[in-house]
């Protein structure tokens, strides 16, 4: 598991509504606990936070980011029957199924966030709690939007859990607009689970 040291505080500049992010540097130790020496790498989020394709060897780390993020943001606001099936193993299985399309932020061996797409949908988007406020999520979102444009998507969309106000504020700051409440058939083992969500859209033209 990568260990992160945050070197600076993020200090947004400009107006509250459309303020740009002042991105910062963070350090990460990469290397496993099996005897491989750890190497400290410094990544400047201004240069893109090392956005890249995921490695199969990182599935476990990415699943932990997803599991921790889901528990933090959703466990208290979503139905208990859905929470019961959101296990670490379930996230590992879903990441393996989507592995060729997963994009991550961070050095190889030390991912700190990821996303993947499903058609015109930004299907999953998570960053580690350790790097919230670093600007990495902003850079990762920009990469996701660029990938959607490459697919000739004119209007992208995403689903946000009702009550996940922190995520909603982030999406809105990135230029996404809430268009209403819809029923989303979210993926669960063996089928889908109908869940009321906020739908966000963004024009990419």
Angle at 141 between CA 140 and CA 147, to 5 degrees: 95
Query: pLDDT tens digits, residue range 105-125?
Result: 999 999 999 999 999 999 999
pLDDT at 96 over 80: yes
How far is 81 from 8, CA to CA, in rounded Å? 40
**Within-domain flag for 127:** yes
pLDDT at 34 over 90: no
Residue 99 pLDDT grade (very low, low, confident, very high; cuts 50, 70, 90): confident
**Within-domain flag for 171:** yes
**Within-domain flag for 193:** yes
Contact 104, 54 (CB under 8 A): yes
Query: Token pair for residue 169?
Result: 């504020």
Query: Token pair for residue 69?
Result: 């993020």
Domain count of the chain? 1
How far is 204 from 160, CA to CA, in rounded Å? 19
Contact 42, 8 (CB under 8 A): no
Query: pLDDT tens digits, residue range 70-81?
Result: 999 999 999 999
**Within-domain flag for 13:** no
- Which CATH number covers residue 148? 3.40.630.30
Query: Token pair for residue 144?
Result: 């996701």
pLDDT at 28 over 70: no
Identify the domain containing residue 83 by its residue range: 48-203
**Within-domain flag for 22:** no
**Within-domain flag for 6:** no
Query: Token pair for residue 88?
Result: 């670490």
Give the pLDDT score at 180.
98
How far is 177 from 50, CA to CA, in rounded Å? 27
Q: What is the DSSP string of 90-138?
A: HHHHHHHHTGGG-EEEEETTEEEEEEEEETTEEEEEEE-GGGTTSSHHH
**Within-domain flag for 24:** no
Query: pLDDT tens digits, residue range 40-60?
Result: 444 444 444 799 999 999 999
**Within-domain flag for 26:** no
DSSP for residue 18 = T
**Nearest partner of 103 among 144, 132, 135, judged by Cα:** 144
Q: Look up the pTM and report it.
A: 0.78
How high is the mean pLDDT of the chain?
83
Give the pLDDT score at 17.
36
* 203 vs 44 pLDDT, higher one: 203
């Amino acid at each position: 598991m990568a260990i992160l040291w945050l070197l600076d505080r993020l200090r947004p500049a400009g107006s509250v509504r459309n303020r740009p992010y002042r991105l910062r540097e963070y350090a990460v130790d990469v290397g496993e606990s099996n005897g491989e020496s750890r190497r400290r790498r410094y990544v400047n989020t201004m240069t893109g936070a090392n956005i890249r394709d995921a490695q199969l060897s990182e599935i476990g780390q990415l699943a932990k980011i997803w599991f921790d993020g889901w528990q933090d943001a959703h466990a208290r606001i979503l139905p208990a029957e859905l929470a019961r099936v959101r296990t670490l193993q379930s996230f590992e299985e879903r990441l393996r199924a989507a592995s060729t399309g997963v994009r991550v932020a961070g050095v190889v061996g030390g991912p700190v966030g990821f996303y993947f797409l499903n058609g015109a949908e930004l299907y999953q988007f998570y960053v580690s709690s350790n790097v919230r406020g670093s600007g990495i999520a902003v850079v990762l979102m920009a990469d996701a939007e660029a990938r959607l444009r490459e697919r000739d998507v004119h209007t992208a969309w995403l689903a946000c859990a009702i009550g996940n106000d922190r995520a909603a504020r982030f999406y809105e700051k990135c230029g996404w607009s809430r268009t209403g409440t819809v029923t989303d058939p979210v993926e669960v083992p063996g089928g889908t689970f109908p869940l009321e969500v906020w739908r966000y859209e963004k024009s990419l033209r």
